[in-house]
Amino acid sequence: MYKYQMIANTIYNRIQENIYESGEKLPSIRDLAKEFNTSKQTILQAFKTIEQRHLVYSQLKSGYYVVDKKLTISPEQGRTINFTNASPNIINFPYKDFQHCIDRAFDTYQYELFNYNLSKGLDPLVKTIKNY
């Protein structure tokens, strides 16, 4: 196992154990490089690895943050998802998480995103909503 994979697993475990909580800024690349006695490039590679797992996202000139895993659905909404409103509730909208998801969608489905021949919608999205 490469050192960056070991570091990525350590950071992953810290996120799962809530040592790094949802929405929290992770330690700087320099601090982690000192902690693990490695180069900044190795830490960057570890961050890229866990970013691909959709556990963290980067913010330009600020650092890396843990993806917010909290649901913003209020109890009175129950299990109903209302698609009639054209815009989300501006207070509860997780912009950084949404931006990360959009970036991932472009990377993953770059050749399928703008095809208009899917009348029922993107198959993975339909399956995910059915399972939810």
Q: Are residues 62 and 93 in the same domain?
A: no
Q: Are 64 and 31 in contact (CB under 8 A)?
A: no
Range of the domain at 50: 3-66
* Distance separating alpha carbons of residues 55 and 47, to the nearest angstrom: 9
* pLDDT value of residue 74: 46
- Amino acid in position 89: N
Q: Are residues 96 and 53 in the same domain?
A: no
* pLDDT value of residue 75: 43
Q: Which two tokens stand for residue 14?
A: 């810290």
* pLDDT value of residue 112: 73
Q: Are residues 61 and 93 in the same domain?
A: no
Torsion of CA 11, 15, 45, 37, to 10 degrees: -20
* pLDDT value of residue 108: 78
Splitting the chain (132 residues) into consecutive groups of 10 residues, what average pLDDT does each group show? 92 90 90 95 93 84 81 48 62 72 80 69 82 86
Q: Which of 16, 41, 66 is the last residue of a domain?
A: 66
What is the CA 31 to chain-centroid distance, rounded? Answer: 22
Q: Structurally, how many domains does the chain consist of?
A: 2
Q: Are residues 41 and 9 in the same domain?
A: yes
CA angle 93-12-23, nearest 5°? 25
Q: Are residues 86 and 49 in the same domain?
A: no
111 within a domain of the structure (yes/no): yes
Q: Are residues 84 and 50 in the same domain?
A: no
Residues sharing a CB contact under 8 Å with residue 33, sequence separation 6 or more, in sequence order:
39, 40, 42, 43
* pLDDT value of residue 84: 66
Q: Are residues 20 and 46 in the same domain?
A: yes
* pLDDT value of residue 101: 80
74 within a domain of the structure (yes/no): no
Q: Are residues 57 and 107 in the same domain?
A: no
Q: Are residues 41 and 83 in the same domain?
A: no
DSSP H or E stretch at residue 105: helix 95-108
Q: Are residues 83 and 54 in the same domain?
A: no
